[in-house]
């Protein structure tokens, strides 16, 4: 028997045209990633029956659901389909705004096991969350949270006629050389940031129905954008903006080449708390500010993602 190696495991995806349906001859796209744990989660229940011998009477298999993260490092063009699914919207003129159009993906994992490989597939997958993390002089990480409808039986061969497009080869982006501009509006002087984290949450929920083993459908909750920034304490501008509950904004351009950059904009947000903090000897004073985005009428969105195309 051949033990599957993580370094040889392919993760591929496609955009579904019908929710929950993998095409008969799928055109998969290989995806760059650092780790993943998408799985078919078995849901069980134990009856609370009383026995005079104190034993568990039964363990009942009551359902299935697909969940798990896909973790990666940001690179241009790699996750554009996942971004569209996350924003529940289409790229329009290379601009993506949060909307309310359901978009689903299918995923396939290929495990190299010698003569007979193993394949697991997951259908009707939504991108529920994204966690972006930017730390000075480190890679920009992008971790997606997936929720799916179901998983066909595992297989030992590809789907007949399936094709596999190669993964992107664009440079991995870091928060030192690849930050073009980073500005915070609503303060007199844009603060210097040491770190920033952004979390997008669609608050997707499962609709379960009687007589169905797998999840019937998913519903869209509120599009929630939050996060935090760590700023060097150089003046009182940011602190006063927090205390005054002023409207703030955040705009970030990242990329390694002209015509291959993203600009992420949160046009309106509030600093929820924060103030100057002394971390100890031999360290600068900082302000850690958690934030929450809100709807911006001018942009007609809570978040806008723009890509530059060569």
For residue 4, the model assigns a pLDDT of 75
284 φ, ψ to 5°?
Answer: -75, 155
- Residue 108 tokens read as 């396939």
Whose tokens are 């920033």? That residue is 196
Mean pLDDT by 10 residues, the chain (310 residues): 80 98 97 97 94 96 95 97 98 96 97 87 98 94 97 95 97 92 90 94 96 94 97 94 96 92 97 93 94 97 92
* Per-residue burial over 235-273, b = 16 or more CB atoms within 10 Å of its CB, e = otherwise: eebbbebbeeeeebbbbbbbbbeeebbbbbbbbbbbbee
What whole-number distance in Å separates Cα of residue 131 and Cα of residue 145? 8
| Residue recorded with tokens 């003569």 | 115
Residue 115 is encoded by which pair of tokens? 């003569």
Distance CA 20, CA 102 (A): 12
Measure the CA angle with vertex 284, ends 282 and 286; round to 5°: 145
CB atoms within 10 A of CB 74: 23
User: In the prediction, which pLDDT does 152 show?
Assistant: 95
The pLDDT value recorded for residue 1 is 66
């Amino acid at each position: 028997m051949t033990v599957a190696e993580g370094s040889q495991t392919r993760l591929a995806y496609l955009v579904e045209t019908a929710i929950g349906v993998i095409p008969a001859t799928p055109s998969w796209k290989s995806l760059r990633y650092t780790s993943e744990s998408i799985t078919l989660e078995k849901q069980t229940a134990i009856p609370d029956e009383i026995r005079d011998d104190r034993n568990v009477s039964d363990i009942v298999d009551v359902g299935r659901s697909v969940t798990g993260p896909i973790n990666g490092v940001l690179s241009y063009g790699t996750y554009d389909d996942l971004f569209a699914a996350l924003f529940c919207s289409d790229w329009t003129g290379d601009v993506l705004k949060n909307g309310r159009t359901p978009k689903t993906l299918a995923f396939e994992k290929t495990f190299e096991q010698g003569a007979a490989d193993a394949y697991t597939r997951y259908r009707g997958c939504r991108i529920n969350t994204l966690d972006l993390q930017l730390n000075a002089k480190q890679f920009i990480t992008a971790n997606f949270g997936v929720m799916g409808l179901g998983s066909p039986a595992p297989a030992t061969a590809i789907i007949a006629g399936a094709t596999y497009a190669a993964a992107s080869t664009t440079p991995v982006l870091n928060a030192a050389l690849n930050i073009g501009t980073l500005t915070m509006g609503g303060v007199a002087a844009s603060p210097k940031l040491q770190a920033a984290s952004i979390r997008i949450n669609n608050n997707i929920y499962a609709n379960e129905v009687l007589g169905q083993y797998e999840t019937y459908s998913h519903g869209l909750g509120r599009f929630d954008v939050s996060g935090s920034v760590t700023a060097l304490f150089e003046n009182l501008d940011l602190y006063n903006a927090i205390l005054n509950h002023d409207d703030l904004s955040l705009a970030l351009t990242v990329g390694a080449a002209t015509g291959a950059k993203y600009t992420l904009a949160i046009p309106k947000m509030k600093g929820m708390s924060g103030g100057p903090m002394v971390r100890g000897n031999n360290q600068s004073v900082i302000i850690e500010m958690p934030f929450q985005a809100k709807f911006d009428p001018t942009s007609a969105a809570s978040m806008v993602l723009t890509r530059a195309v060569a």
